[in-house]
Structure 1
Amino acid sequence: MNYQKIVKTIFSMGFLLLTFLVFHETVMAQDSAYFIGPRDVLSVTVYAGGEEQLKVRMTVTARGMINVPFIGSLKAEGRTTSELESLITKPMATDYFVNPEVNVNILEYHSLRYYISGAVSSPGLYEMRSKTTLMRLIAKAGGVLPDRGNLAYILRDSTEQIAKGQNVEKLLSHKEPKKANLKKLLDEGDMSHDMPLQSGDVVYIPLEKAMKAESKIYVEGEVRSPGIYDYRPGLTALNACIMAGGFGRFAAPNRTRIIRKRNGRQKIIRIDLNEVKMGRIPDVELKPGDMINVPETWL
């Protein structure tokens, strides 16, 4: 095995383990400052006169509301448990009980959701107790695989699409991802590349073979900036033409060709990118090495 690859793997695994141990206590310490969100499950208990007067279990609605007996609808989203206890205590003390004590506990955390896939040990959906970072999510997913690539793609507000069965690579063709340099973060320990994540983020880490230098696409013909461009998972023919500056004045997008070479054989895919732009037909997802040719109009 390549010596450098052994060192890289050992460093990455050790660094991830250290990060997980360091951040474990931090994450748990942050629970008290957790802000309640949609889908969280709460327990509300009211004590008065030395006895338990009320105990209810409730789920925060998609709009961030809960329905408390005696009081009615309250906004729970964005509040800590302490803030919600104070909000409930005031009307309880005014109209129902003498010196009530209100306890709010979070039974299930569901509002902070992140999805990670690709070259990690345990890809999937993760629900966290506090806001997280790329490094923490990778650690939660068991660390990266030895043959991971050097980039991570981050898609905002995308966990719902994944939950509905959308493919990550398809999402990449419709959204512009943020990119994180894993070589800097994992191999060199540069924490400035540990990007903060937002609830709803999807993280995709391709395998190394999909990220090699030869993973390029070629755009030629009647586009404003023909040339060689980096391939990324989910890239489509129309998006590639947009990357190349858009269509030229004499372009005929309706006769676009995609030339694909595999195992010494050439395949030509014809596509009308005018129809794609108008949403009438689906775009074609590209493969590394594809060449897109936009011909001139016959007029």
Structure 2
Amino acid sequence: MKMNKWLVLVSVLVLAFPVSAQVSLQTVTGAQQNVNTTQGVFGAPNVTGGAQSLSREQLMQAQLAAQSQQMDLSQYIQSNGNSTGRNFNAQQQIAMAANRADDGKPKPYGHNLFTSGFVAERSDGLNSQYRVSPGDKIAMQMWGAVVRSQIITVDNQGNIFVPDVGPIRVKDIPATHLNAVVTESIKQIYPNNVNVYINLLTATPVSVYVSGPVQRPGQYAGLASDSVLFFLISAGGIDPQRGSYRNVSIIRDGETLITYDIYDFLKNGKLESFSFKDNDVVLVAEQGPMITVEGSARYPFRFELKPESRSGSDLIAYSRPLNKTTHVAVTGNRPHGPISVYVPFEEFEAFEVEDGDVVLFNDDIRPKVISVQISGSYEGPSFYSLKKGTRLVDMLSYVAIDPDSANFENVYIKRKSVAQQQKQLLEQSLQRLERSVFTAPASSDGEALIRSREAQLVAQFIERARKVKPLGKVIVADNNNVANIRLEQGDEIVIPERTDVIQVSGEVMMPQALVYNENANIEDYIAWAAGFTERAEAEQVLVIHANGLSRFVTLDSNNFWLDGDGEATLKPGDQILVLPKVDTKLMQSVKDITQILYQIAVTANAVID
């Protein structure tokens, strides 16, 4: 089998009636090739692995190519930082929405620390890390040469007094070590034949004040060994708009004993222990400079930076931008007026941010490769990474096929961008139909009843129509000519199977696949499918060719099925689709509904009643 030079002709699908148009492209010349049992689609010998020699990094870059879009910085600036200037995918939109407060601004970093609604506390008020404090009660049992059983209270100096032994210091000893410490002291006096068992019975609660920008400032009871987080949670947490996560102090008798940076706990798990006493004060300071982070970052929150640490590198350490980040947009205000800058990521590390700045981490990556998929009749890999700008015929030279089973002359493309456009046009048609039906006037009660019933039927029709998913077909082959068009990210190249049947579906009595007969016409195939149903549009049917091109054919006065070029001819692999007929007696918007039915049939190769 030999293949001659081809003149490229592409047919472009148009979502209007008439439903198809042809647009010619430049001529593509291919060298004459001998086709063996297994070869490339257009004659090039099969290359092992196809175009799969690219690196894993290039493959990952190709998979991310569809998500990489150019940022409209002017839109971002004009929106005063409320717009990221790019379209995020569904998962990113959900994550960003969950991280925003009621006022629409991102929530502060660490806000979920106080939203769990659960405080881990044992019912007896004790835990294994509790440290003994004055006022605690301890049960002591001694048996053997000395028998004694008593309950001892820890005095103000942090000691317990054991007769014949003296004071034993137990303050700040963990509850799990209490028995060993007391036993060791008693053994120094009674080294033999005396057994000791010590148990901490009750812990003395302390009363601590929580003040500053918290949700519910006031006085709260806890244990001396409780963490500062326990008292902050008891007070409802830090106020996200006014309180500081970087400056939480413990004050006793007017003196600051310790200052906590909650960010150290959130990022590194560091939280220094502290033994509280009655009347201690947990003071949350006023909020410091806040920087809003958006875009390609793992933590798109509002971050509080310390006055002495406001460089871009400090913000990067907390927000953790993704590896694909290449540039950073910063908008904000300075004493001399508003600013808006767009700098490379490396330069941003030394950039000094100010309170109220909005920082957008952006991925301005221009992918050098794209990924496409092969489906239908082919051999070898189904996924290819290609250099950006690769054209269809060049790529298909590396796809292995069996020429006896692959109908490579009728290859076509399913393109996501085309499917989205088809969906938008269909939605526009459905919206026009809704307006025309739901706003139609009625001159009488009887007509109003009819319009109401019609509106219900149309609403059901629209509901089903909105569920239709267009295929996004791009017709690139016709009359054994294939357009060498530029491929796009995510394209699916379909190579149909060779077949000897004609599919008859839609409004026929027995939808089925029939063996192709070169002497039969459309009317014969419909007759072999038991004829039209009562709801069929008998004067016009849709023929879908193997290359994806759709043509409406009509019955003339001599009972011949014709298309725009004369008598309609069928080829193996074609599909005959009979559409339903809209009853003009029941429906006012027959023309609109009919056009929508045509659109659905052409774009999705489907029929809805």
- Superposition TM-score tier, normalisation by shorter sequence: 0.3 to 0.5
TM-score by length of 2: 0.24
More helix by share: 1
Larger Rg: 2
TM-score by length of 1: 0.44
